[in-house]
Every structure is written in structure tokens, then in C-alpha cells.
Amino acid sequence: MLQSSRLKAQEGALSTIAGDKGGKKVKCSNQALPVYNELVALALSGNYWAGLVVRGIKGLTSGRMNMDNIYIQKETQLAYGRGIFYLVLPGVTATLEDCADGTYVVKSLNADTNYLQMQKDKKKPGLWRIDKNMDNMPEFLREGEILKKDYRPVVISDRASDDPRDIAKAASNDLKKVDSTIARMVSGSGFELHHTPGDGGIVGLKPAHKAIASTRSKEITESATLLANTMYKARNLEGVLWFSDWGGSAVLTRAMQILEKEGLKDFKNHAIFLNRPTSSSGDALKLAKQLELKLAGNGGKSVGFRPSEIRGNRSVSKDGTMGAAGFGLSAAGAGFAVAGAGALAGPMGAAVGAGVGLCGAMVFVVSTVLKGIPKFSGKKYK
């Protein structure tokens, strides 16, 4: 762990680390500079994670959020400046000041130089390649890039302690039901899995400015930052499907928030699908529209639950089936729209062919599961 000195950030000279040739200047306190220099050295040696952090800090010269990062403003404002911000990057805790003279000053910087190894050890969020034979071990993708292949599916999982291979097995059947082309892709070449390790699934999503309020909220933002980076790198591939499973909807939503702040709309007919989302599907679908992402299936989701309707009480039996009673639904909130058959919405549908579409969705009415409707598996990892 690289950590800034405990000396006051105001002590010592400020060093300019970015913006000399244009844009906003980014300066670094004397206490944080050794940490920054070590990160630069690691990046130059080929460490991808350190490079991501350095690019994120240098991205401040644009005067807005860089695609690779997200800034969380503290509620209080400084009398002599414009405010203190937290910099949220994978493995990094930093505070910086947006000064009245138009410069950014990195006040403190703590970085975990072991982050890449922790990703490999499945202790930090990361991207994994799932082979078409899912009994094979997943491959960790250190660069955060999906296979350069059109109509590539990417699963964004809920927070879970299970191994990525087990998560992939649980999600793959539902993934195949979204569209016949996706089914062929999964069977022919597998898919990618964005994995967020941890105990307990994600329910709801706190506003961005509260993302550092708790360890779990910070973990979601950390994971979403990596996902936003992956989505950005894949933007020129045709028809990528971003398929969130359970609480993965919160990670996907936060990632889209990061991309939306950058005004990115150049995704080539990419689509999203929310499989049993546990965060607000309305927020995700609104962001998708702003980013000009398509909605896969019928409306972009299988079953949507409002956070007030689940309260974290989803019930999953040992055999992988879901029980309705565990949701504690009101009569008004218990009926959900059935996602019928249909191809991928919009131009993407024409590109991949309008054949099978959704096989169906899980539907709850009060405490009775409707019979005779093809439905998603309901399998859940832990």
C-alpha cells in the first residue's frame, strides 16, 4: 500500500503533474507526490492498473470527469476554493481540491499497488472470459477488454462470493434466452463476465455523491469504474450485449452514469438487458436512452423490482428456485409485466435477425407463480 504522509497537505511546495500544455492544471501536494510518482513508474513498467489510475488523474485536465473515473463532491465547500472532491478509482483513495484559480490540487493519495494481483485472486472486481465449455477455468482479462467480436455478450453479475465459473453457469441459461443470435454466440465462443466479489447481493443504488459513505457503496463504484472502462473500449464493436444479472443492474447503472457524464453516445448498436434487476430499472433504462443504447428483448428487462418491494429479502432455495413469499409484496406491487417474445429492439434487431427473442419471464401475482409460461431459471449464486 502506497500512502501519503500524515503531514498536512498544505505543507511544502505544489508540483504540476498535468496540464502544462493546455487544459486545467493538476498539481500535487508534496505529501502525495511520492505516491503519484510510484504509480507513474508502475504504469511505465506495464502495470495496467497503475496506468488506469495515472490516466484518470491526468484526465482532470479536461475539466470534467474522465471516462475512467468518477469524482464525488464533499458536501462542504471551502471558503478559499470551490470545494473538496474525492477521487474514486480502483484501489485508490484520494482527496483533491477544485481551486478558485482553475487548478486541481491532489491533497492526499493512497494506492494499493497489489490491486492487479487481488483481481486475479478474485478479491477485487475484474473481467473474466468464459469459455464455451464452462467446465474450463475462466481467464482473467487484465486489460479489461472483451473479445473483439461483433455481438459479444457480457454478463455483469451481482456481488457474490462464488467463483466466476459457478456464476457463469448460473447466468448462462438466462443469457441464451435473450436472443437466438446471442445463444449462438454463447454456444460457439462463450462470453465475458464482469465479476464483483463480496458477500450479499446489491439492492438499490445510492446517489453518486454518497458512494464513499460505506465500504459496500465504494465497492460498487469501484466495480462500475472498471465496467465503464470495458464498455468504452468495446464501443466500436457491433452489437455488444451488456446483460446484468440481479444486483449487477446497480453496477451497470453506475457505469452508465460515468459514461453519460462524458457524453459518450458512439456505441455501435450496443444493447442492455436487465435480468431480474434489484436496483431501479427506470434509472438504467433512462441512462441507456441517453447513451443511445438499445434495449434487448421486450423493453430491456425480464422482471423489475423496486427496492421498496424487496428490501433485500429475496428468497432462493438450495435447488436454485425462487419463492414468491420471500418478497413480502403488496397486492399492488406483486403483478409484473410479462416480457413476451420479440427480437432485439431497434436497428440492432434488424442487424441480428428477428427470430426467437425472449423465451419469457418469471411472473409473480401476489404469491402464486403463473403456470405454463416459459420463464427464466431463477438460479442464483451466492
Q: Residue 82, exposed/middle/buried by CB under 10 A (0-12, 13-18, 19+)? A: middle
Over 60: is that where the pLDDT of 312 sits? Answer: no
Span 111-156, pLDDT tens digits = 888 888 999 999 999 999 999 998 999 999 998 999 999 899 999 9
pTM over 0.85: no
* Mean pLDDT, the chain, integer: 73
Instruction: Give percent of the chain above pLDDT 90.
Output: 28
Q: What is the pLDDT of residue 374?
A: 35
Q: What is the pLDDT of residue 303?
A: 57
Residue 366 or 58, more confident? 58
Q: What is the pLDDT of residue 323?
A: 30
**305, amino acid identity:** F
Residue 254 or 346, more confident? 254
Span 75-97, pLDDT tens digits = 555 555 567 877 777 888 888 88
- Cα separation, 207 vs 272, in Å, equals 21
Cα dihedral value 135, 136, 141, 146, nearest 10: -70
CA-nearest of 199, 185, 120, 111 to 155 is 185
CA-nearest of 111, 130, 128, 110 to 119 is 128
Of 19-33, 155-169, 293-307, 361-375, the range with the lowest mean pLDDT is 361-375
Please name the residues in contact with 319: beta carbons below 8 A apart, sequence gap of 6 or more. none
Q: What is the pLDDT of residue 114?
A: 87
Q: Mean pLDDT: which of 105-109, 324-328, 362-366 is highest?
A: 105-109
Answer whether 108's CB lies under 8 Å from 32's CB: yes
Q: Mean pLDDT: which of 8-12, 28-32, 78-82, 322-326 is highest?
A: 28-32
Over 50: is that where the pLDDT of 285 sits? Answer: yes
DSSP string, 60-71: GGGSS--TT-EE
Rounded mean pLDDT of 11-25? 80
**H-helix or E-strand containing 272?**
strand 271-275
Over 50: is that where the pLDDT of 331 sits? Answer: no
Q: What is the pLDDT of residue 56?
A: 80
**138, amino acid identity:** P
CA-nearest of 114, 116, 142 to 128 is 142
